[in-house]
Amino acid sequence: MSNNQKNLKSENICNSYKNNGGSSGTGTEQEVVDLKAIKEILDENVITNTGKDTGKENSSLMVILQKAQEAYGYIPREVINAINKRTGIATSNIYGIVTFYDQFTTEKRGKYTIKTCSGTACQVKGGKKSLAAVKKRLGIDVGETTADYQFSVETAGCLGACAIAPAMLVNKQLFGRSVEKRIDPIINEFSEK
């Protein structure tokens, strides 16, 4: 990804936040972000922005962002503002890191992320139909989240389980031979949790 592309992505995220106040998914209610967790994270990982590009600030920022991602499930605008306020690191720099690394997301995701495999072995064994069944059952497309924030849907390259294709993950739990007819029972299992 070129710097221009990264900046554009970051800029789009910023504009998106400005336009919708940071709400995401298919839900309609805007959530008030509780800043208690990020305050505790900042207290435990105090960093100082000396204004010098030593790399130290960025590595501390990564730790803070990783903990924030874990605590919130995403990096809300309010959290980025809190980090900026406390550390002095420009929000554009924070956005830059958040949007560069796949481990971070600026959109609130579902409690469970269903990741179907788009690798060749899984596609040959019916992975396409499985994904269609997931989308139909949840009424959302890839990259979207249900209105109740229970499920998000994603696809990924080979999950390393070709022998039991088609494979899919629900968070970290692997499901093999997840053919079309198994989709409903699998989703039912997580709908009640």
- Interface with ligand FES (CB under 6 A): 117, 119-122, 158-162, 165, 167
- For ligand FES, the closer of residues 64 and 169 by Cβ is 169
The residue (of 95 and 175) whose beta carbon lies closer to ligand FES is: 175
In terms of CB distance, is 86 or 177 closer to ligand FES?
A: 177
Q: Point out the residue whose Cβ comes nearest to ligand FES.
A: 119
CB of 155 to ligand FES, least distance (A): 10
> CA angle, 49 as apex, 47 and 50 as ends, to 5°?
125
Closer CB to ligand FES, 111 or 128, in the complex: 128
Nearest CB to ligand FES, comparing residues 94 and 169: 169
Task: Please report how close the Cβ of residue 127 comes to ligand FES at its closest, in angstroms.
Answer: 7
CB of 57 to ligand FES, least distance (A): 39
Minimum CB distance to ligand FES, residue 58 (Å)? 34
Q: What is the 3-state secondary structure (H, E, C) of the chain?
A: CCHHHHHHHHHHHHHHHHHHCCCCCCCCCCCCCCCHHHHHHHHHCCCCCCCCCCCHHHHHHHHHHHHHHHHHCCCCHHHHHHHHHHHCCCHHHHHHHHHHCCCCCCCCCCCEEEEEECCHHHHHCCHHHHHHHHHHHHCCCCCCECCCCCEEEEEECCCCCHHHCCCEEECCEEECCCCHHHHHHHHHHHHCC
Find where tokens 């994270």 sit: 41
Report yes or no: 82 and 91 within 8 Å, Cβ to Cβ. no
Shortest distance (Å) from residue 134 CB to ligand FES: 15
| Shortest distance (Å) from residue 175 CB to ligand FES | 11
Considering beta carbons, is residue 71 or 121 the nearer one to ligand FES? 121
